[in-house]
Structure formats: structure tokens, C-alpha cells
Amino acid sequence: MASVSPVLRQWTREGRRIDKQQLGWLVRTMRNHLPDHIQISMWMTDSRFLTKSFQYCSVTRPFGANLRSALAISRVINTHSLSYSTEAISSSSPLTNSLYHRISRLGDPKISMIPVLEQWVEEGRDVRQSELQKIIKQLRKYRRYTQALQVSEWMSEANFGPSSGDIAIRLDLISKVYGLERAEEYFYSIPESSRINKIHGSLLNCYAENKSLEKAEDHFQKMKEMDFIETALTYNVMLSLYSRMGKHDKLKSLIQEMKQNGIEFDKFTLNIQLNACAVTSNIEEMEKLLLMMETDHQAALDFHSYFIAANGYLKAGYPEKAWMKLRRSEQVIDNKEKKIAYEHLLTLYAAAGRKDEVYRVWNLYKNLGRVYNSGYLSVLSSLVKLDDIDGMEKIFEEWESVNTLFDNRIASVLISAYCKKGLLEKAFVSVERLFTSSGKEPDAGLWQCLSTQCCIDGEMAKAVESMRKAILTGGPRWKVNRTTFSACLEYLKNEGNLKGAHEILGLLHQRGFCPDDIRSRLEEYLNSDINSGALNAMLGDDKKEENDDAIDR
């Protein structure tokens, strides 16, 4: 099929008019043909329509399949409507007429970046390495690692000479997308003379993120032998790893090593130490360290430090002290950090049981300007934690009224809250209204949440169907709730529906969520005369690891 973009450009060169209504219809029509859909969307993004100088055109009959016919059959009824031309493209501002802007408008993280980049080049536009680096940075910020890696690889294939920073970032992205083994392969494919400290540091970070302790320690030692460690940055990677893995003796030993080697602590070093005290409920040491930071390290102290201390107090059962530290944290938040800080504050105040503070911070957050979905997620989750269902519903309605882009995470918060409150009918009505009607699909965690509540309420037919949908939509990291799944199996067996029981078990195994040994035990259970015991068959000798109350997300 011919590319759509040249047709659009030719149409405008002929002096013909195009309006947003027509293009919007074309975008919707071309959704099933992704290349054309993307091209039209990009063309609209790069175009400038002055809303005061044009009005929508009337459409005399439905558009045909042919693009040129679709544009030709519309009649312009306002002589002052804007005539789009190639001059309008060249006069666009750098912000709106940039590759970064085009990519940022593509909201679907599953869309490949390669066709977008190639289309840009086909249009004769320049591609700057600095802009590609900016795009990669932003994609990483929003955890769109696969797309960031695609841009990074395309940059290399386009013969842009990668800097050491580009290589280090590529290494990190490969680890996140393909795993540690592929990252190691890439590292050793780099000429040894080019493996500077930044690239070694990136590999160390890959080991730490994957909690590969032995490899991280070996590589850290190698970096020390190569004199690649001059600042706290590399030490912080190991300190954070020790903290996350509960290796507090090793953490203390490494702190002593830093002191002996004259490595100056930065704010991250201090916060890692503070967090180690908080997670072990060593309140006395935590308070001493925080006081030292307040008096001797003013430059290193930020709102994160107070958040860590507040978490420590909450874990130890001191909500009032936590509240005091949270109020103190608000005094050291920079203007540029207020949005992200307030989002965390909402959840922390909720954990401290302070509903009044949640609403106060929410109002402060809204006064900052545009309210992002991440903010709605934080406040809705906080109100759920506070059991304020009425307040949650009001803010959810507010989100619906101002947002045109559907976000299944926010809808999932609402429905999960209904499940936990036993409001099963409301939960299923919301699934129908928010997901089914919009053509979206709930994630596996939400389906499993529904299945669990159905089991509790005795709605077993719905429980089985919801569990089946959870299995079908489950991603690589999803885990089946054994209690809920075994209840579904027992129900099907007791109903005499052995075919259905074997089918859902086979589906669980086929999707990779049920090891061979567990499947064998469950098959044996289904073929026996015993009417209960599916959970025991699932657990086998591993009963201690099962948390019956958990809903795996």
C-alpha cells in the first residue's frame, strides 16, 4: 500500500484545504492499518491550525476508502478557512516541529520507534544526535525501555558515533529489556580499550539491579584494581545493593572502607545509610544520623531524607513522629520538585492515617497547574488506604471529566477498591463501563482481584471466568493466587465439570504459570475421588511460602 504522507503533502501543494474534522476521521478509520494511522497522526502533529482563522468543513457524504477521494468530497463553506501549505510547516516552532515532539505524541509504549524514525528521514528532515539522546533520556524516564533501546540501536545503525555515555546507556537498556546475559555479551563485545570507568559502572549497575550479588562484588573489586573508583557514585551502587538484600554488616564494612579511603559521602550515601536504619527499625541510629545530616550536611539534606525517616517511624509504629517529619519535609521541597514530592507525600500521609493532610496536599498539588495521571493515582490510592470510598469516587469523577486519554491503572484502583470493600456488583459494572465500552482490557491483576472477591462472595461461576481472563492477560511477572485458583478448580470438580477444570489448568500450564510438577499433582487430584485439597496439591512441600491473603499483581 502506498505511503499516506506523500498524498497529504501533494494535496496541500495543490492549494487544497484540509481541516481537523477530516483528518480526525481518517485517523480513526486507519487505526487497523497502523502505518497509515501513524503517518496521519504525525502529519496532524506537525501541522499548525490557527483555530481563530478556520472553521470545520461540512461533509456531504461518508469518506470513501481512497484518501484523495476522502478529501475531495468535502466542501469548504467558510471562505476564511485556513489553507494549509508547505510554508506552514517551515514556519512551525522548533518545539512542535521536532522529532522529539512527534515521538512524544505517540502514547502507546508498544509502537515501534523504527518506522517513526525512518518516516522522519524519508521526509527529508534532519536527525541530530543530541535530539536522539534527549529522546532516549525521556523514554527511560517514563520506563519505556524497549522504545529507548530501539532509538539507541537505530542511532548506531545510522552511523552516529556513540559516546561512552551512549554505550553505557545502551548496556543498561539491554539489561532491562533482554536480561543480564545479553548485557554481558554486549559489554564484552566492546573493545577493551573503550571500556572506560563509565561503562564498567553501567555493568556494575546491571548486576546490582538484578541482585546478582557475587557478580557485583567481583566486578566492584575489578574496578577498584583498575583505579576506576574515585567518588561515592560507585560505592553507592554497592551500598544500595547491600541495603536491598539485607546485608547490613557488609554495608557497614563498606562505609568504613569509604572513610579509610577518603571517599566523601554524598546525599545518596547518607540516605542509603538512613534507609538501612529505617528498614531495620533502628530508630535510635536513624535519629542520630538524621540529626547529623541536619547539622553537618545541610547541602545533602533534602525531602527524601525526611521521607525515609517518616517511613522508619511508620514501620516502628510511631505515626505521630512520622507526621512531624513529613511536615518538616515540605519546608525543603524545591519548586521544581513539588509535583513528584507531593505525589509521595499523599501516600505517606495516608500511611500515617492523616486524611486531612491528604486533602491539603492534594489541593496544593492541583494549584501547581496541570494534574498528571500519576497524581490521580497517588491520591486515589491514598484515599483507598484511608477507606474513604466516597472521596475516591468524587476524585475519580473529576479525573474522568478532565481526561480524554484512558488510563487503565486509574480505573484499576477504583475497581480494586470496590473488590476489597465487597462491592462486587459495582466492580463489574465499572469494568463494563470503563473497559469494555472503551475497547480496553483489564490487566491480569485486576481480573484476579475480581476472581478472589467472587470466591469470597460465593459467585464461583464469575470467579472461574475472571480467573480464566487473568491467566490469558497475565504477563511474564504475573503470579497466580494459589488459593483463588484452587478454589476455582474445586468448584469445577464438585460441579462435575472436569473438562472445564482440565482446560483452565492446561491454560495455566500453557501460559507458563504452572510448573510441570504442580500440574501433575493437580491432574492427579482432579482424577481422584477426593472433592477437596486442590490447594494442598498446588503447595506440595512448599506450604510455608504461600500467602493466602495476597493478591498477586
Q: Tell me the DSSP string of 259-306.
A: HHTTPPP-HHHHHHHHHHHHHTT-HHHHHHHHHHHHHH-GGG--HHHH
3-class secondary structure, 470:
helix
Q: Is residue 448 part of a domain?
A: yes
Question: Which tens digit of pLDDT belongs to each residue from 519-549?
Answer: 999 999 999 887 777 788 777 645 444 444 4
Contact 467, 447 (CB under 8 A): yes
| Beta carbons within 8 Å of 416's beta carbon, 6+ residues apart | 384, 446, 449
Q: Is residue 450 part of a domain?
A: yes
Contact 533, 525 (CB under 8 A): yes
Q: Is residue 455 part of a domain?
A: yes
Q: Is residue 32 part of a domain?
A: yes
For the residues 120-125, what does the mean pLDDT come to?
Answer: 88
Rounded Cα–Cα distance for residues 276 and 246 (Å): 8
Contact 268, 298 (CB under 8 A): no
Contact 49, 33 (CB under 8 A): no
Question: Which tens digit of pLDDT belongs to each residue from 214-258?
Answer: 999 999 999 999 999 989 999 999 999 999 999 999 999 999 999
Quote the domain boundaries for residue 536: 443-553
For the residues 453-457, what does the mean pLDDT come to?
Answer: 95
Contact 383, 354 (CB under 8 A): no
Name which residue leads in pLDDT, 209 or 105.
209
Q: How far apart are the first and last CA of the chain?
A: 42
For the residues 107-113, what does the mean pLDDT come to?
Answer: 76
Which is nearest to 400 in space by CA: 420, 376, 416? 376
How, if at all, do strands 58-59 and 74-75 pair?
antiparallel
Rounded Cα–Cα distance for residues 471 and 477 (Å): 12
Name which residue leads in pLDDT, 86 or 11.
11
Q: Is residue 471 part of a domain?
A: yes
Q: DSSP character for 547?
A: -
Answer yes or no: is pLDDT of 59 > 90: no
Q: Round the average pLDDT of the chain to a whole number and report it.
A: 82
Rounded Cα–Cα distance for residues 484 and 177 (Å): 31
**Which amino acid is it at 553?**
R
Answer yes or no: is pLDDT of 53 > 60: no
| Beta carbons within 8 Å of 294's beta carbon, 6+ residues apart | 301
**Which amino acid is it at 213?**
L
The lowest-confidence range among 84-88, 117-121, 285-289 is: 84-88
Question: Which tens digit of pLDDT belongs to each residue from 376-386?
Answer: 999 999 999 99
Buried b (16+ CB within 10 A) or exposed e, 398-414: ebeeeeeeebbebbbbb
Environment class of 471 (CB within 10 Å of its CB; exposed 0-12, middle 13-18, buried 19+): buried
* Residue 58: its H or E element: strand 58-59
Q: Is residue 279 part of a domain?
A: no
**Which amino acid is it at 283?**
I
Name which residue leads in pLDDT, 552 or 130.
130
Q: Is residue 173 part of a domain?
A: no
For the residues 120-135, what does the mean pLDDT come to?
Answer: 89
Three-class SS of 137-189: HHHHHCCCHHHHHHHHHHHHHCCCCCCHHHHHHHHHHHHHHHCHHHHHHHHHH
What CATH number is attached to the domain comprising 492?
A: 1.25.40
CA dihedral 532, 538, 543, 546 (to 10 degrees): -110
pLDDT of residue 515: 93
Answer yes or no: is pLDDT of 55 > 80: no
Contact 418, 426 (CB under 8 A): yes
**Which amino acid is it at 122?**
E
Name which residue leads in pLDDT, 84 or 424.
424
pLDDT of residue 38: 45
For the residues 151-174, what does the mean pLDDT come to?
Answer: 92
Environment class of 345 (CB within 10 Å of its CB; exposed 0-12, middle 13-18, buried 19+): buried
CA dihedral 303, 316, 360, 340 (to 10 degrees): 40
From 92, 121, 139, give the residue that closes a domain: 92
Please tell me the total count of domains within the chain. 2
pLDDT of residue 430: 94
Answer yes or no: is pLDDT of 65 > 50: no
- Give me 113's grid cell: 520507534
Name which residue leads in pLDDT, 213 or 477.
213
Name which residue leads in pLDDT, 432 or 540.
432
User: Phi and psi at residue 75, in whole multiples of 5°?
Assistant: -115, 135
- Give me 312's grid cell: 522508619
Percent of the chain with pLDDT over 70: 78
pLDDT of residue 18: 59
Contact 395, 383 (CB under 8 A): yes
**E strands in 69-108:** 74-75
pLDDT of residue 108: 66
DSSP per-residue letters across 191-243:
-GGG--HHHHHHHHHHHHHTT-HHHHHHHHHHHHHTT---SHHHHHHHHHHHH
From 58, 75, 92, give the residue that closes a domain: 92
CA distances from 488 to 442, 464, 478, 502, 523 (A): 20, 6, 18, 11, 14
Answer yes or no: is pLDDT of 136 > 50: yes
Q: Is residue 318 part of a domain?
A: no
Rounded Cα–Cα distance for residues 239 and 431 (Å): 44
Which is nearest to 454 in space by CA: 470, 472, 441? 470
For the residues 46-75, what does the mean pLDDT come to?
Answer: 33
From 92, 108, 129, give the residue that closes a domain: 92
Answer yes or no: is pLDDT of 43 > 90: no
pLDDT of residue 289: 93
Answer yes or no: is pLDDT of 210 > 90: yes
For the ranges 44-53, 395-404, 489-498, the one whose mean pLDDT is highest: 489-498
Rounded Cα–Cα distance for residues 332 and 338 (Å): 10
Question: Which tens digit of pLDDT belongs to each residue from 349-368?
Answer: 999 999 999 999 999 999 99
Q: How many CA atoms lie within 13 A of 177 on its CB side?
A: 19
Which is nearest to 235 in space by CA: 280, 203, 204, 278? 204
pLDDT of residue 534: 76
**Which amino acid is it at 183?**
A
Rounded Cα–Cα distance for residues 510 and 348 (Å): 41
Question: Which tens digit of pLDDT belongs to each residue from 316-333?
Answer: 999 999 999 999 999 999
Answer yes or no: is pLDDT of 26 > 80: no
Contact 283, 309 (CB under 8 A): no
